[in-house]
Chain A
Amino acid sequence: MKCFERAHLFAYAQRMLEAREAAEVRTHLDACEVCRALVGEYERLETVLDEWKPTEPSPWFDARVRQAVKAQEAARASTAWMRLRWGWLATASLAVLVAAVSLVTYRSHRISGPSAPARSAQRPSSMTQPAPQALAESRPSIVAEKKAAAPPVETSKAKGEGGPLLAEHVAVPAPKAANLENPPRQALRAEAQNEAARPVAQSLRPPQGLSLRAAGRPAPPLEGNLDAGGRAGKEREASAQPAPSASGGGALARNSAGLENRSAVQAAPAPAVGGESQAMATGRQALGGLMIPPAARKALLSASGQAAVRDKDVEEMGLYRNLEVLKDFDLLVDFDVLSELPLGEKKVAHAQRFQSLPPEQQERIDENLRRWNAFSPAQKEQIRERQEILASLSSAQRQEARALFPEWGRLEPQRRQAVLEAFRHLRGLPPDQRQDYLSSPEVQQQFSPEERQVLEGLSQLLPGSKLESESP
């Protein structure tokens, strides 16, 4: 009697065989004790394997999944919004062009005599004079007009506390400026009083000129507020607030002052602000939220201390370092869950990889965990937002942004403004012309080597840059 192969007997035990084949095996088994014993072992093996029971997920597993999905949705919405905004750019640019033409036409009919050339002479081109001076000279008339229509602004206070960049762009109206800036800073001051969170709170505070945006608060419709990020415009739209008009909403008009100034000076004698055309106002409104491209905003945001804290400290957790599938943002979500549960530290302490770390590293991680737990929900949200932004950049851009930020912080506020002005111009150029602009005599004359370095670094954060093409 010839026995079946083991594989065939296994297939029989597993009910993989056709009926006819199974009948043949059954007949054989009746007569063969060895094969019957083997099939018996295969069948008992099934029962033995059943002794390995399934594992229940932890109680917070579902919440984690929901949170990850929510984060994914938010990131997606943000991306869609970015695309939409860039789509508007062409429209807005057209509007500005129309506005400029209208302005020239208007002035040719209305403004005559020596006053126009006189004003023109008083307003040198921003391309031939340092931008801060050009801005300083161009703003008073605008501000004067705004003051007539809007509440006064405590510019000095804004400059002193909110940073010069913010002050420049949040000049009017004052109540909004205060709302936009003060609450997050107050929150940070409160945070700074928390001993456990102090170091991180300090690092969360960006260098001069950058403000933190309170979570859930509508972001200001300001180009200069680098914290606004992609969501700012979205929130503004969602809140259905009318865009500030040229006469009442000084912020937008103010923010586009540099552009207006440059365009007007280059195209025609300086405009009479009071006689601004409707088309110009429309163009400025449309451009108001678009002045700093999302990539640059993202980069500058991500370059703030928060991102650095998270990268350095949280990644040191090393718990899932080898898992490429888990992006930083997921880790943050995970962290958040940990912080919400008192068992968070316990969980970390029990993680095998954590246990394998050197004691000093474990201690540092524990400390970071305590800091994270000390953050308010709003601060955690801010950190997550920045982490999300950071994740969207290429690794090279991230590196560039981090290297750039200290340089940026060292610049004088007015020089930052000048660099930003040049950056805006740079952004409007095709990628292949940017280097020419950076090497141009006007840039060489207007900016110091340090400033040019910052400008070049910023240019690498623009869409189409060499660094952007590197994989995120």
Chain B
Amino acid sequence: MAMETDLELMLRVREGDAQSFEELLRRYRVPLVSYFYRMLRDRALAEDLAQEVFLRVYKARERYQPDARFTTWLYRIATNLALNALRDRKPEVLLGEEENSDEERPIERFVDPKPSVEQQLVENDRERLVRQAVEALPPNQRAAVILHKYQEVDYRQIAGILKVSESAVKSLLFRAYEALRVRLEPLLRGGQI
């Protein structure tokens, strides 16, 4: 049997089908938690906000109108929540928590007797560099990059999510990628860090 589309599932959720909601939960739990984590770098908060998105989807099921792609709607909710959370954050939290986060200690996290430890540490540092570069972007650019690159949302949808024009999305993405290109230059040249 062909896999049902998100739209079909959502329409069934609207009719009260709990299984369809479960399927949407299964499909989008990782993307949403990852999206929030990349936007906010706070695992607990990411889960809370992802839960809030699912709850809002459920609450709005009866009003759901299939006039846009489901993912556009879903990520619009998520992006609003993420941007609000970023706005509410204090600057010192964003800047000062880097060294305190247990997730920012690759050495501790990957202490492991396996031979690949060193390589794993290096790779994790590379990942951290990427993360820091993305996190240094302004919120709208960050959202655009994460949606485009990691959530695989096309720029037309991103325009719908961010409520800007398509050309504005292209401009946002260009400026973001330029900034990333500069910040990640050591990695782009193939060098080790």
Contacts and interface: CB of A to CB of B under 8 A. Distances in A.
A34 interface: no
Given A72-B58, A325-B49, A347-B44, A53 B84 contact: no
19 contacts: A6-B178, A41-B181, A45-B181, A48-B126, A51-B130, A52-B130, A52-B131, A53-B127, A55-B30, A57-B47, A58-B47, A62-B25, A320-B45, A322-B88, A324-B88, A326-B48, A330-B48, A351-B44, A352-B101
Interface stretch (A8-16, A100-108, A425-433): A8-16
Majority DSSP secondary structure for residues of B touching A: helix
Contacts of A52: 38, 127, 130-131, 134, 150
A19 interface: no
B54 A68 contact: yes
Q: Which of B29, B42, B181 has the most CB of A within 10 A?
A: B181
A62 B48 contact: no
B45 A323 contact: yes
A352 B48 CA distance: 15
Contact of A55 (B34, B55, B97, B102): B34
Given A49-B149, A68-B55, 17 more contacts: A6-B174, A10-B178, A11-B174, A45-B184, A49-B134, A51-B126, A51-B130, A55-B34, A65-B54, A72-B55, A322-B88, A323-B45, A325-B49, A326-B48, A352-B93, A352-B100, A353-B93
Nearest to A352: B97
B127 A334 contact: no
Contacts of A121: none
A54 B178 CA distance: 23
Given A51-B127, A352-B97, A56 B38 contact: no
A201 to B, nearest CB: 29
Contacts of A11: 170, 174
B58 A7 contact: no
User: Chain A interface mostly helix, strand, loop or mixed?
Assistant: helix
Nearest to B90: A322
A355 interface: yes
B177 interface: yes
B61 to A, nearest CB: 10
B173 interface: yes
Given A45-B177, A48-B130, A68-B55, A56 B49 contact: no
A64 interface: yes
Interface in A414-467: none
B37 A55 contact: yes
Contacts, number: 126
A61 interface: yes
Interface in B33-79: 33-34, 37-38, 42-52, 54-55, 58-59
Contacts of A83: none
B1 interface: no
Interface of A: 6-7, 10-11, 14, 16, 41-42, 44-46, 48-49, 51-58, 61-62, 64-65, 68-69, 72, 319-320, 322-326, 330, 334, 347, 350-353, 355
A64 B81 CA distance: 18
A10 B123 contact: no
B2 interface: no
Contact of B171 (A7, A49, A61, A353): A7
A448 B125 CA distance: 73
B127 A323 contact: no
Contacts of A350: 102
Contacts of A322: 85, 88-89
Q: Which of B43, B51, B59 has the most CB atoms of chain A within a 10 A radius of its CB?
A: B51
Contact of A61 (B29, B59, B101, B102): B29
Contacts of B48: 320, 323, 326, 330, 334
Contacts of B149: 46, 49
Contacts of B84: 324-325
B81 A325 contact: yes
